[in-house]
Amino acid sequence: MGTLDDGWYGKAMYFTSSAKYATRYSGKHGCLVMCYVLLLNPFPVVTADAGSHIPPERFRFYGKGNYKNYQCHYIPVSPVGGKDTMDYRPPPSGDVDDAAYDELAIFQEAHVLPQIVIHFE
């Protein structure tokens, strides 16, 4: 938890409510860390912030910290491209109900309390 990722939606630690989505990033012999996450004043990242035609490095938040006075980013995401893609962005429709998963970009380590580690074999 000591390293912050520059990531697509800001310099943060990334979380999701979906174990299925998280395992895409864990690798074959990885693990999941289940945590309590304190959400204070989340900034919703929408389609206009990360459109499917824009390369990640051109995102409004790419590699940056939290936006203004917000404590975290909330991003509803859907795959862009095929089923096996690692490119997930806000749904083109702009409707949160069309999102397959969600992401939380948390900027303060104090807002995360790890509870359980699940190792894959």
Q: How do residues 13-71 score in pLDDT, each as one tens digit? A: 899 999 999 988 887 788 999 999 999 899 988 877 777 777 877 787 887 878 888 99
Q: What is the pTM of this model?
A: 0.82
Q: What is the residue extent of each domain of the chain?
A: 13-119
Could you read off the pLDDT of 80-112 as tens digits, one per residue?
A: 877 778 888 888 888 888 899 999 999 999 999
The DSSP secondary structure of 56-115, one letter per residue, reads GGGSTTTT----TT-SEEEEEEEESSSTT---EES-TT--GGG-SEEEEEE--GGGEEEE
